[in-house]
Amino acid sequence: MSVVEAVSAQSTASENLTDEAYRDAMHRWLHANLPAGFRSDSAAFAAPTLQQSVAWEAAMYRAGLTGITWPQAYGGHGRSLREHLIANQEIGRLAMPESVNSIGKELAGPIILAVGTEEQKRRFLPAILEMRNIWCQGFSEPEAGSDLAGLRTRATRDGDGWRINGQKIWTSGAYRSQRCLVLARTGALEDRHRGLAMFAVPLDAKGVRVRTIKSIDGRESFCEVFFDEVEIAQQDAIGAPDEGWAAAIRVLEIERATNRMYRAWRFENELRHLISACKADPALSAMVANRHYAVRLGEVAVEIEVLKAHVETAVEALVRGDKIGARGSLAKLYWSESHQRFAALALELLSQASLPQKAAIAVARRRFEAIYLQARAETIYAGTTEIQLGIIADRILQLSRGK
Amino acid sequence: MSMAEGLQPDEFAATAARAVTACAGLDVREQAHNLAGDGLLGVVADEQVGGLALPLGFAVPVIAAAHSGLLTFPLLETILVARSLQSSLTRLAAAIVSGKTLATIAWQGEAGAARDGGLLVLSGMVARAPGAACADYILVRMSGGAAALIPTDADGVVVEEAAGLDLTVPEHTVRLEKVEVSIGSILPAGTWDLLNSDANVLRAAAILGSAEACLTLAQEHASTRRQFGHALSYNQAIRHALARQKLALESIRHAITRSLSGEGGPVQRDAAFLAAVTYGSSISEGALQIHGGMGFTWDVPVHRHLRRIRSLQAQGDASGLISTFGRRYVSEVAPFAEAGA
């Protein structure tokens, strides 16, 4: 039976539920429908194919688990940010695969909602939620990693449309995407942040070439994307030419604080999995019972509680109508570094397992060795740790740079 | 109608800050009188003992302001003792709330008890009792989670100065040599755990206040102190260090907020205290470092906050708590089984 066939298509979108009833509905649906093979804390785990991921995420959408706060007019479920948090808590509590379209749902979609035309909202947004269009993010370039204002990919006017030339790099998932959210320069390089525009570039357009890059975890999800005289229609320009950067920053600030809101609860799922695996192993069960590792595991648990506090505080602030501003950098810095510490502890523990290796340890090693490697990217993408520290110093502390 | 209606905890921050400033230079009993006049000693105590009957969250900005301003009065202990006594020792609780009677808590150790007719005879040593030298009563822990209120002028009570770090509200050791107390002075089993759980939230608030003061001092210093032709804050190493301190500070603040929210329970309260200890130490030590050689001088007040934070860490037995916290977490997870993974 395919994932889609296994899924009840009934949506909760139109139901008026209390928070607890909503949580219960999301919890029950996820537990009833997440295939055992998708669970990375299961011996039955097998990394889902792209087709399986697309089907699963489309089913999640129909069940009301994605597009939660998006307006119903554009395919969303029109629910509150607090309900978005509740759904994400339930998503986090299960060891399910990461979305293959997180850029569509958490970056491109919100930007289009903020500055897109009515036609763009109707054309792009339902396609993202229904998983008909997977998006990737074309921001970084070989000469513009952290310093996006130095990007060189150029968009020039060409009749009623645009012509794009340049190169993007470290573009996760471009090989599987239909659209790329491209940030391109319309003015001079010296203009820095001014004169940057955003485009929804179809990756099957003539002149687009995608080449995968092997990453440290052995996967080939990272890509380079080359644009050679790529013609783009005006209707695929997102926002006004000079508005692109400002709009991106506004949305990125919120997204930095709220995207993958399930993280703290997923980290908790990981911690519980690690402990459960250790308790199934003769040597490790003794170790996690002793003071040294009890303290270190306790420290991880405290950090997870603090991360939950960061997320919930951000949600409450947004619900009150406060601006998040640069505060999103606090949460991003916190989760990325604490997850790396946790992943290193997991490896350290699992490396001391008994021989012959128990099935529980094999499952845990497969999961945590992958997490450890992938976590190295977490202090790099979405603004490196150094960029986040700079944002906090400049915009939150407003430290003087005076000479 | 509850007095909490229409009030917000943050509104107490300004009142508390003013009250703390007004206490500068006063002796402990004068401070008690002033703080009582502002309603701060009974912020969480019942109205029948003269308190404001507000939730614990209202004590958070009060304690943070007290520690930020280096108040030389055991406010955290006073607030908690007053509430602990409000049901069984009503008149005494009212006297504490009014500032007429001073009380503190010995956070370390347990008193041994033997029954003698209608009295209990307490013996042993307890410690980490802030401001005990000036207190009229000391609440001490007994075995089984009960607590006893002991008059400091009772026969057999010896309050001694302890070699503690805190200069602001110094800790004392208390020797109990066959001290007779009435059964009515014994608070029931469970009292201590409740008291300590609330104390963990307020200790986190205290550390928040001290840490915030340290970060402010460090930030001011980095903006005004010039080296190599620039303000210190011109240097990325300094900017990033201060940014990390800000992250640590907001982590304490959010953890406290969560511990008092609908999501909050004993785990979240413990986590707030443990996070505050880790981050508060890091912020105060980092602030000292930013000050360079000046940071090591007596006159720069960063060390006073650092001393307080380390004392609060010990009063809450953070080392024991993190071990208990981790063991509890580990014990609640079942061994891996495919079906229940």
Quote the CA–CA distance of B177 and B15 in Å, as a whole number. Answer: 42
**Interchain CB contact of B265 with A (< 8 Å):** no
Give burial (CB, 10 Å; 0-12/13-18/19+) of A376: middle
**Interchain CB contact of A283 with B (< 8 Å):** no
Quote the CA–CA distance of A291 and A236 in Å, as a whole number. Answer: 59
Contacts of A328 (CB under 8 A, 6+ apart): A252, A253, A254, A255, A256, A257, A258, A314
**pLDDT value at residue A16:** 76
3-state secondary structure of B27: coil
Would the CB atoms of B263 and A308 count as touching at under 8 Å?
yes
What pTM value is reported for the model?
0.94
Quote the CA–CA distance of A65 and A7 in Å, as a whole number. Answer: 13
Beta bridge partners of A237: A199
**Among residues A338, A325, A326, which one has the least CA distance to residue A389?**
A326
Quote the CA–CA distance of A71 and A62 in Å, as a whole number. Answer: 15
Quote the CA–CA distance of A276 and A267 in Å, as a whole number. Answer: 14
Would the CB atoms of B246 and A293 count as touching at under 8 Å?
no
Would the CB atoms of A285 and B335 count as touching at under 8 Å?
yes
**C-alpha R_g of chain A:** 22
**pLDDT value at residue A144:** 82
As a whole number, mean pLDDT of residues A135-144 equals 91
Tokens of A19: 């928070």
**Among residues B246, B267, B268, which one has the least CA distance to residue B256?**
B268
Please determine, for residue B68, whether its predicted confidence score (pLDDT) is greater than 50.
yes
Please determine, for residue A263, whether its predicted confidence score (pLDDT) is greater than 50.
yes
Quote the CA–CA distance of A369 and A351 in Å, as a whole number. Answer: 10
Tokens of B102: 């001073």
- The kind and range of the H/E element at B166 are none
**C-alpha R_g of chain B:** 21
**Interchain CB contact of A36 with B (< 8 Å):** no
Would the CB atoms of B240 and A386 count as touching at under 8 Å?
yes
Please determine, for residue A217, whether its predicted confidence score (pLDDT) is greater than 50.
yes
**Among residues B75, B77, B126, which one has the least CA distance to residue B104?**
B77
Which of the four pLDDT bands, split at 50, 70 and 90, describes residue A12? very low
pLDDT tens column, B291-329 = 999 999 999 999 999 999 999 999 999 999 999 999 999
Of A94-108, A131-145, A252-266, A309-323, where does mean pLDDT reach its minimum?
A252-266
Which of the four pLDDT bands, split at 50, 70 and 90, describes residue A1? very low
d(CA B186, nearest CA chain A) in Å: 34
Please determine, for residue B2, whether its predicted confidence score (pLDDT) is greater than 80.
no
Would the CB atoms of B242 and A364 count as touching at under 8 Å?
no
Instruction: Quote the percentage of chain B above a pLDDT of 90.
Output: 88
ipTM: 0.94
d(CA B142, nearest CA chain A) in Å: 26
Which residues of chain B form beta strands (DSSP E)? 103-105, 112-116, 119-130, 137-141, 147-151, 157-161, 171-182, 186-187, 226-227, 230-231
Backbone angles phi, psi at B107, to 5 degrees: -80, -20
Please determine, for residue A3, whether its predicted confidence score (pLDDT) is greater than 60.
no
Would the CB atoms of B233 and A296 count as touching at under 8 Å?
no
Segment 154-193 of chain B within 8 Å of chain A by CB: none
Segment 183-212 of chain A within 8 Å of chain B by CB: none
Between chain A and chain B, the number of residue pairs with CB atoms below 8 A apart is 155
Would the CB atoms of B251 and A306 count as touching at under 8 Å?
yes
As a whole number, mean pLDDT of residues A265-272 equals 98
Please determine, for residue A243, whether its predicted confidence score (pLDDT) is greater than 80.
no
pLDDT tens column, B33-65 = 999 999 999 999 999 999 999 999 999 999 999
d(CA B245, nearest CA chain A) in Å: 10
d(CA B107, nearest CA chain A) in Å: 22
Contacts of B242 in chain A (CB under 8 A): 393, 397, 399
Contacts of A151 (CB under 8 A, 6+ apart): A139, A141, A143, A144, A166, A183, A184, A185, A196
- Cis amide bond preceding B130, omega within 30: no
Segment 58-117 of chain A within 8 Å of chain B by CB: none
**Interchain CB contact of B275 with A (< 8 Å):** yes
Contacts of A305 in chain B (CB under 8 A): 255, 258, 267-268, 271-272, 275
Would the CB atoms of A297 and B336 count as touching at under 8 Å?
no
Which of the four pLDDT bands, split at 50, 70 and 90, describes residue A26? very high
**Interchain CB contact of A312 with B (< 8 Å):** yes
**pLDDT value at residue A5:** 36
Would the CB atoms of B326 and A299 count as touching at under 8 Å?
yes
Which of the four pLDDT bands, split at 50, 70 and 90, describes residue B12? confident
pLDDT tens column, A43-65 = 999 999 999 999 999 999 999 99
Average pLDDT taken over every residue of chain A: 91
Of A125-134, A244-253, B17-26, where does mean pLDDT reach its minimum?
A244-253
Tokens of A136: 């990737």
pLDDT tens column, B124-179 = 999 999 999 999 999 999 988 899 999 999 999 999 998 889 999 999 999 999 99
Is the Cβ–Cβ distance between A321 and B241 less than 8 Å?
A: no
Would the CB atoms of A43 and B338 count as touching at under 8 Å?
yes
Of B234, B257, B274, the CB nearest to A401: B234
Of A102-111, A223-232, B97-106, where does mean pLDDT reach its minimum?
A102-111
d(CA B82, nearest CA chain A) in Å: 30
Which of the four pLDDT bands, split at 50, 70 and 90, describes residue B5? low
d(CA A29, nearest CA chain B) in Å: 18
Would the CB atoms of B341 and A393 count as touching at under 8 Å?
no
Quote the CA–CA distance of B5 and B54 in Å, as a whole number. Answer: 9
User: Is the C-alpha dihedral spanning B35, B41, B47, B49 positive or negative?
Assistant: negative
Q: What is the largest CA-CA distance in chain B?
A: 77
Would the CB atoms of B335 and A280 count as touching at under 8 Å?
yes
Please determine, for residue B1, whether its predicted confidence score (pLDDT) is greater than 60.
no
**Among residues A163, A107, A116, A96, which one has the least CA distance to residue A134?**
A107
**pLDDT value at residue A365:** 98
Q: What distance, in Å, lies between the first and last C-alpha atoms of chain A?
A: 68
Contacts of A308 in chain B (CB under 8 A): 258, 263
Q: What is the DSSP string of B242-288?
A: HHHHHHHHHHHHHHHHHHTSTT-SHHHHHHHHHHHHHHHHHHHHHHH
User: Among B8, B220, B247, B324, which would you mutate to test the A interface (most chain A Cβ atoms within 10 Å of its Cβ)?
Assistant: B247
The H-assigned helical ranges of A239-290 are 244-258, 263-279, 282-289
**Among residues A58, A59, A75, A55, which one has the least CA distance to residue A67?**
A75
Of A279, A392, A400, the CB nearest to B335: A279
**β-strands B137-141, B186-187: how paired?**
unpaired
Quote the CA–CA distance of B315 and B107 in Å, as a whole number. Answer: 6
Of B250, B258, B330, the CB nearest to A288: B330
Return the active site residues of A: 255
Contacts of B330 in chain A (CB under 8 A): 275, 279, 288-289, 294, 297
- The kind and range of the H/E element at B74 are none
pLDDT tens column, A159-208 = 999 999 999 999 999 999 999 999 999 987 677 677 889 999 999 999 99
**pLDDT value at residue B145:** 85
pLDDT tens column, B172-194 = 999 999 999 998 889 988 889 99
